[in-house]
C-alpha cells in the first residue's frame, strides 16, 4: 500500500500525491481515507462532498480545491471508471481490488493476478458493447446520484438515515463528571492504600483488592459510552429511491433465519407465530425467504410448519390488507386495545372475526400435534405416506429440506404469491462435532446461498416475532445507503420482551444495556451482536474485509502492540490477512470477467483453492461471487435441492474455514459475541437501529431460577472466549482495525464474570466486620470524609446524567444494579468455575433445574421456585449478613454508648448487601413465602460452619504477642 512513503489511492490505485506544503494529500482528516487529488476533484464535481469511508463532509476543503497541483485530469479518471465497468458506490470491492491488483504478490514475490487480469480485460473489451445493454438493468451498480437525478424527486437523493448526536448540554456535563470521578477515585485509592487498618490488616487488604477491581470494571464499562448517538431513518426516501412507481422494486432481498431445537421446550405455536410474522412482513414478497432450522429433526416441528404454511395463505393477505400490527396472530389477538382504531373499512370487523376463528382452529390443530408428540411410538414416527420419519434418531439422520411456499403453485387465498418458506434439518452423524446453534446457522447460510442467495440475512430466535412490519425497511435505510452501507457488516436491533411484570424484578428487559451501553457503542465502531434481531451483510459473514479497508501488507506486523515479544503470533495473523486479501482479489476478478466458459470457471475455482475455504460445492462458491445476490444463471434449477442437501452434510465443513473465519464462529456458547468481534477486528462497522415501534419482541424467562441459568450460560460463554485464542486482550492487534474503545468494550464482555470473586468477598465483609468488631476503614479525618462524600456524589451524579441523556428510568437503573449483584454472587461465580473446569480439565458440569407447579394467574411463572445449586451462594450471604446485624446490635447493647458510632457504618454496609439481594430473597420465597427446604438447610449449614470456623481461626485479626502481653501485665501497678 505504500510506495516511497506515499499511500495509494483506493479508487484508481495511483499515489495520492502531495499538497502545496509538500505533504501527502489528505481528503478527509477524520479517517485519513487515501484518495488522490484527481479522484477527489471528480467526486466534488459529481456533487459527492462526503468521505467515502466515514461519511464526514469535506466542508471548506471541498469548496476550495484549486490550490494544489492536480496529478491526473478528469478525462483520464472517466476512462478508468469506464474500464472498470462503471462501478459506483455500491461496488464493495472496487477500492480494495485496485490496490490488490497492483501490489498483491505471493510468497516468492511474483504477481498473482495482474497478468491474468490484463489478458482477461483485453478479451473483455472486444465484447464491451454487448455488455453495456444488460448493465443498464443492474441499477445498484450505478451511482445512485447519477441513476435517479432526472427521474426522481429531490428527497430520493438525500441520505436514508442520519446521526442525531446527544446534545452537548447533556453530554458535556456527563463527560466532565466521568473525568472528575476518575480523579476522585485516584485520590480515594491513594488514601486507602496509605492508611491501612493495623487491627484488621487482612480485612483491609481484601477490601482494597476488591475496590481496585470494581474501579477497573467501571472504567471498562464507562468509557465505551463516551460518545453515545441516536439515529433516525427515512423509509419514505428508501421507497422513493428503490421502489419507483410502475417499475420493479430494487430493494435488496433478505433471507430470514429461524432456529429451533426441541419443540417440547420451544412450543411449536410460538415458532409458528414467528414464521407467520416473517411471511407477512411489509416487504416485496419476492424479496423475502424464511428458513426454519430444525436442529432436533422433530416430526412435530415439520408437521406444525405444514399447518403454518397452510394458515399463512389466509393470514398474510389479511395483515397486508388492513395493515395489522403486530403480524404474529397470537400477540395481535391478545392485545388489550381498541382494534377498530384507524380501521375504516366496513368489512374489517367481519373479516377479523373470521380470521380469529380460523386462528383458534389453527391453535387446536397445533396443540393436537403437541399432545400426540408427548409419547413417541416404539417403532418411531411415520409420515402420512407410510414411510418412516428420517429424523427418528435426532443424533443420526440424513439432511432434510422441504420447500413449502414460494413456488407458483403456493398462492394465498387472493391468488398472490407468498414468500418462500423452507424447512431445513442438517445431517447428524455420531462422531462429528455439530457446534450447536452456530453450526445450524452456518448450515442455513449455505442452504440459503444455494436456493435464494439474498445479499442480506436476518436471524431470529424461534420465540422472537416481528413486532414492526417495517423493520426490514428500517435496516435497509442503513445497508442500502451508498455511503453508510459500504463498510456495514450488520444492523442490530434492541431486544424487547413480552410477558414481564411491571416491576421487572430480575431485570429481564436489560434496559440499561440496550438503551445505554449499545447507544454508546454505536458512536464508536458499532454495537455488539446479541444473537437475534440482527440483519447481516452476507459478504461480511464470508469473512472478507470491508471494501474501503486496504489489505494488510506483510510488513504490517509492526502494527501489533506485541510484535517484539510475540513475532510468531503476529506473523501468523498477517499471513491470514494476506491469504484473505488474496481470496478477495480472486473473487473480484472472477466477478469482473463475465465471458469465461465453464472450463475456465472450474479451473479458476480449483486454482485459487476456493474449496479449502468454502467447501466442495462449486454452486455455493459461485454464489459467493454474486455480490448483489441471486442464483447464478449457469446453475440448473433441478439440481439445487440436491446441492443444498450436499452443503448441510455433517462432513462438509471439515478442512474448511467454516466456524474459524467464515460464518458464525465456533468456540463458545455465546457465538454471537465472538462472531461480531471477528467482524469488527476486520474493520467492519455495525449500526444500532431503534425504531419507535420495537422491531422484534420475544419471550424472556421471568422466574428466578430460569433467569439465573440464562445468565449462567452467557457468563460461561464469556469465560470460554477469555480462555480461547479470540480473547480481546490479545487477539486482532495486527492492522489496528479495532478501535481502542471498542476493544475495551469487548474486554468488558469477557471479564465481567470474574467480578464475581471480589463481589462475593466484598458482600461477606459486612458480616465479618459485625461478628469480629473490626472494620475495613480507619477513623475518618476531614480529608477522608471529603473523599468519601465526593465519591458517593460522583457516583450519584454520573447515574443521574446517564439517565438524562439515555431516557432510562431510575427504577430500571436500580433493578439493573440489584441484578448485577444477584447474578454476580450466583450465576457468574458458577460460570467462572465451570468455565475453568471445562476449558482446562475437560470436565463439563451441568446444574439441573427441577420445576414445581405454577399458579394459574397472570405472571404465575414468576412465582415458580426451582431447586438449583446456583441459589445457595446468595442465600448464604443473606443469612450471614442478617446474623451479623443481630450480633452487631447485641455487642453494641452490651458495649456502651461509644460502640454505637462504629456500628452504624458496619450496619449500613450490611444493609447495602441485603437491599441489593432483596429481589432474590423475594423470589426465593415465592407467592406464599415458601422456600425450598433444601436451600434453607444448605444456606444455614454453610453460614453456621463459616461462623464457627471464623471464630476458631479468626485470620484477619492480629494476634498479640504472648511475651509482650505478659511483660505488660507485670508492669501494671495494682
The answer to whether residue 198 is catalytic is no
Q: Which of 295, 515, 577, 706 is catalytic?
A: 295
Does residue 295 have a known ligand-binding role? yes
Beta sheet of 465-466, edge-to-edge order: 465-466, 696-699, 496-498
Peptide bond connecting 573 to the previous residue in cis, omega within 30 degrees of 0: no
Measured CA to CA, the distance from residue 594 to residue 616 in angstroms comes to 23
**Consecutive H or E run containing 492:** strand 488-492
**Consecutive H or E run containing 313:** helix 299-322
Q: Which of 504, 672, 706, 812 is catalytic?
A: 672
Cα dihedral 899, 900, 906, 907 sign: positive
Does residue 566 have a known ligand-binding role? no
Does residue 265 have a known ligand-binding role? yes
Measured CA to CA, the distance from residue 394 to residue 398 in angstroms comes to 10
Helix axes 471-479, 235-242, angle to 10 degrees: 70
The answer to whether residue 286 is catalytic is no
Task: Identify whether the C-beta of residue 688 lies closer than 8 Å to the C-beta of residue 467.
Answer: no
Strands 229-233 and 161-165: antiparallel
Contacts of 165 (CB under 8 A, 6+ apart): 171, 229, 230
- The SS3 of residue 630 is coil
Residue 513 DSSP code = I
487 alpha carbon, distance to own chain's centre: 17
Measured CA to CA, the distance from residue 278 to residue 458 in angstroms comes to 10
What's the helix, strand, coil split of the chain in %, to 5?
50, 10, 40
Task: Identify whether the C-beta of residue 144 lies closer than 8 Å to the C-beta of residue 89.
Answer: yes
Measured CA to CA, the distance from residue 3 to residue 205 in angstroms comes to 57
Does residue 266 have a known ligand-binding role? yes
Helix/strand number for the chain, H first, E second: 36, 15
The torsion region of residue 531 among left (phi > 0), alpha (psi -120 to 50) and beta comes to left
Nearest to 442 by CA among 666, 617, 736: 666
| Number of residues assigned to the chain | 974
Nearest to 676 by CA among 663, 689, 667: 663
The single residue listed with the C-alpha cell 454520573 is 798
Contacts of 961 (CB under 8 A, 6+ apart): none
Measured CA to CA, the distance from residue 601 to residue 607 in angstroms comes to 10
State the alpha helices, DSSP H only, in 656-755.
671-681, 704-722, 740-751
Measured CA to CA, the distance from residue 302 to residue 330 in angstroms comes to 20
Does residue 461 have a known ligand-binding role? yes
Indicate the annotated binding residues: 259, 265-266, 295, 436-437, 461
Indicate the annotated binding residues for UDP-alpha-D-glucose: 259, 265-266, 295, 436
Indicate the annotated binding residues for Mn(2+): 437, 461
Catalytic residues: 295, 672
Amino acid at each position: 500500500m505504500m510506495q516511497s512513503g506515499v499511500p495509494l489511492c483506493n479508487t484508481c490505485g495511483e499515489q495520492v500525491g502531495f499538497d502545496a506544503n509538500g505533504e501527502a494529500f489528505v481528503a478527509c482528516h477524520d479517517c485519513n481515507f487515501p484518495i488522490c487529488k484527481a479522484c477527489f476533484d471528480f467526486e466534488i464535481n459529481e456533487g459527492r462532498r462526503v468521505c467515502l469511508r466515514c461519511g464526514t463532509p469535506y466542508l471548506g476543503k471541498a469548496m476550495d480545491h484549486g490550490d494544489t497541483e492536480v496529478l491526473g485530469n478528469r478525462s483520464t479518471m472517466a476512462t478508468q471508471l469506464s474500464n472498470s465497468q462503471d462501478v459506483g458506490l455500491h461496488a464493495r470491492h472496487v477500492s480494495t481490488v485496485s490496490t490488490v491488483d497492483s501490489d498483491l504478490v505471493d510468497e516468492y514475490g511474483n504477481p498473482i493476478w495482474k497478468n491474468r487480469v490484463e489478458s482477461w480485460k483485453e478479451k473483455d473489451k472486444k465484447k464491451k458493447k454487448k455488455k453495456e445493454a444488460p448493465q443498464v438493468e443492474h441499477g445498484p451498480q450505478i451511482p445512485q446520484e447519477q441513476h435517479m437525478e432526472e427521474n426522481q424527486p429531490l428527497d430520493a437523493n438525500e441520505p436514508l438515515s442520519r446521526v442525531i448526536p446527544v446534545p452537548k448540554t447533556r453530554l458535556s456535563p456527563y463527560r466532565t463528571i466521568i473525568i472528575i470521578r476518575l480523579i476522585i477515585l485516584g485520590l480515594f485509592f491513594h488514601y486507602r492504600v496509605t492508611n491501612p487498618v493495623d487491627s484488621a490488616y487482612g480485612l483491609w487488604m481484601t477490601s482494597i483488592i476488591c475496590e481496585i477491581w470494581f474501579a477497573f470494571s467501571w472504567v471498562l464499562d464507562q468509557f465505551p459510552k463516551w460518545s453515545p448517538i441516536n439515529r433516525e431513518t427515512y423509509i419514505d426516501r428508501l421507497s422513493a429511491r428503490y421502489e419507483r412507481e410502475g417499475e420493479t422494486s430494487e430493494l435488496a432481498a433478505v433471507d430470514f433465519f429461524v432456529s429451533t431445537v426441541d419443540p417440547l421446550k420451544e412450543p411449536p405455536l410460538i415458532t409458528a407465530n414467528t414464521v407467520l410474522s416473517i411471511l407477512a412482513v411489509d416487504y416485496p414478497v419476492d424479496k423475502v425467504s424464511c428458513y426454519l432450522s430444525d436442529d432436533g429433526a422433530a416430526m412435530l416441528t415439520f408437521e406444525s410448519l405444514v399447518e403454518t404454511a397452510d394458515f399463512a395463505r389466509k393470514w398474510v393477505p389479511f395483515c397486508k390488507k388492513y395493515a395489522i400490527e403486530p403480524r404474529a396472530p397470537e400477540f395481535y389477538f391478545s392485545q388489550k386495545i381498541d382494534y377498530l382504531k384507524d380501521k375504516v373499512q366496513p368489512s374489517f370487523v367481519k373479516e377479523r372475526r373470521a380470521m380469529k376463528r380460523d386462528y383458534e382452529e389453527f391453535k387446536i390443530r397445533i396443540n393436537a400435534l403437541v399432545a400426540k408428540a408427548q409419547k413417541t411410538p416404539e417403532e418411531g414416527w411415520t409420515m402420512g405416506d407410510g414411510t418412516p420419519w428420517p429424523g427418528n434418531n435426532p443424533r443420526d439422520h440424513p439432511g432434510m429440506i422441504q420447500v413449502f411456499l414460494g413456488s407458483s403453485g403456493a398462492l394465498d387465498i387472493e391468488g398472490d404469491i407468498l414468500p418462500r418458506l423452507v424447512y431445513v434439518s442438517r445431517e447428524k452423524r455420531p462422531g462429528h462435532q455439530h457446534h450447536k446453534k452456530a453450526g445450524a446457522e452456518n448450515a442455513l447460510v449455505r442452504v440459503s446461498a444455494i436456493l435464494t442467495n439474498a445479499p442480506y440475512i436476518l436471524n431470529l430466535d424461534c420465540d422472537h416475532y416481528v413486532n414492526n412490519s417495517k423493520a426490514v425497511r428500517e435496516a435497509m435505510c442503513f445497508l442500502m445507503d451508498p455511503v453508510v452501507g459500504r463498510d456495514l457488516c450488520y444492523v442490530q436491533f434492541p431486544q424487547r420482551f413480552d410477558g414481564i411484570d411491571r416491576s421487572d424484578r430480575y431485570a429481564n428487559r436489560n434496559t440499561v444495556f440496550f438503551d445505554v451501553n449499545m447507544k454508546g457503542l454505536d458512536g464508536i465502531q458499532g454495537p455488539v451482536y446479541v444473537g437475534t434481531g440482527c440483519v447481516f451483510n452476507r459478504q461480511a459473514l464470508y469473512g472478507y474485509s470491508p471494501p474501503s479497508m486496504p489489505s494488510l501488507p506483510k510488513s504490517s506486523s509492526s502494527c501489533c502492540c506485541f510484535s517484539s515479544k510475540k513475532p510468531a503470533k503476529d506473523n501468523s495473523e498477517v499471513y491470514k490477512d494476506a491469504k484473505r486479501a488474496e481470496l478477495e482479489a480472486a473473487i473480484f476478478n472472477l466477478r469482473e470477467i463475465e465471458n469465461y466458459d465453464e472450463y475456465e470457471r472450474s479451473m479458476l475455482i480449483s486454482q485459487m483453492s476456493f474449496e479449502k475455504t468454502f467447501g466442495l460445492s462449486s454452486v455455493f462458491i459461485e454464489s459467493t461471487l454474486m455480490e448483489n445476490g441471486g442464483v447464478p444463471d449457469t446453475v440448473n434449477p433441478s439440481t439445487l435441492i440436491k446441492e443444498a442437501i450436499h452443503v448441510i452434510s455433517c462432513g462438509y465443513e471439515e478442512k474448511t474455514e467454516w466456524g474459524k473465519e467464515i460464518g458464525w464462529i465456533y468456540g463458545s456458547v455465546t457465538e454471537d459475541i465472538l462472531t461480531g468481534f471477528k467482524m469488527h477486528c476486520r474493520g467492519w462497522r455495525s449500526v444500532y437501529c431503534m425504531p419507535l415501534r420495537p422491531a422484534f419482541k420475544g419471550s424472556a424467562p421471568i422466574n428466578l431460577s430460569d433467569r439465573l441459568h440464562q445468565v449462567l450460560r452467557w457468563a460461561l460463554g464469556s469465560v470460554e472466549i477469555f480462555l480461547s485464542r479470540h480473547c480481546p486482550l490479545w487477539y486482532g492487534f495486527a492492522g489496528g482495525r479495532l478501535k481502542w474503545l471498542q476493544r475495551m468494550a469487548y474486554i468488558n464482555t469477557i471479564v465481567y464474570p470474574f467480578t464475581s470473586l471480589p463481589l462475593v468477598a466484598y458482600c461477606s465483609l459486612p458480616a465479618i466486620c459485625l461478628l469480629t468488631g473490626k472494620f475495613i476503614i480507619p477513623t475518618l479525618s476531614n480529608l477522608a470524609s471529603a473523599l468519601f462524600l465526593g465519591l458517593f456524589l460522583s457516583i450519584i451524579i454520573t447515574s443521574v446524567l446517564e439517565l438524562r441523556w439515555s431516557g432510562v428510568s431510575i427504577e430500571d437503573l436500580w433493578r439493573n444494579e440489584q441484578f448485577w449483584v444477584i447474578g454476580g454472587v450466583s450465576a457468574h461465580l458458577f460460570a467462572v468455575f465451570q468455565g475453568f473446569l471445562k476449558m482446562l480439565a475437560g470436565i463439563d458440569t451441568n446444574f439441573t433445574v427441577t420445576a414445581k407447579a405454577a399458579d394459574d394467574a397472570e405472571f404465575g411463572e414468576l412465582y415458580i421456585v426451582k431447586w438449583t445449586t446456583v441459589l445457595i451462594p446468595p442465600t448464604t450471604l443473606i443469612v450471614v449478613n442478617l446474623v451479623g446485624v443481630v450480633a452487631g446490635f447485641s455487642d453494641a447493647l452490651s458495649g456502651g454508648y461509644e460502640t454505637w458510632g462504629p456500628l452504624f457504618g458496619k450496619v449500613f454496609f450490611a444493609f447495602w448487601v441485603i437491599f441489593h439481594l432483596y429481589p432474590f430473597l423475594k423470589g426465593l420465597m415465592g407467592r406464599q413465602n415458601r422456600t425450598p427446604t433444601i436451600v434453607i438447610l444448605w444456606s444455614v449449614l454453610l453460614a453456621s460452619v463459616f461462623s464457627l470456623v471464623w471464630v476458631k481461626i479468626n485470620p484477619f485479626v492480629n494476634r498479640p504477642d504472648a511475651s509482650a502481653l505478659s511483660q505488660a501485665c507485670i508492669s501494671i501497678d495494682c
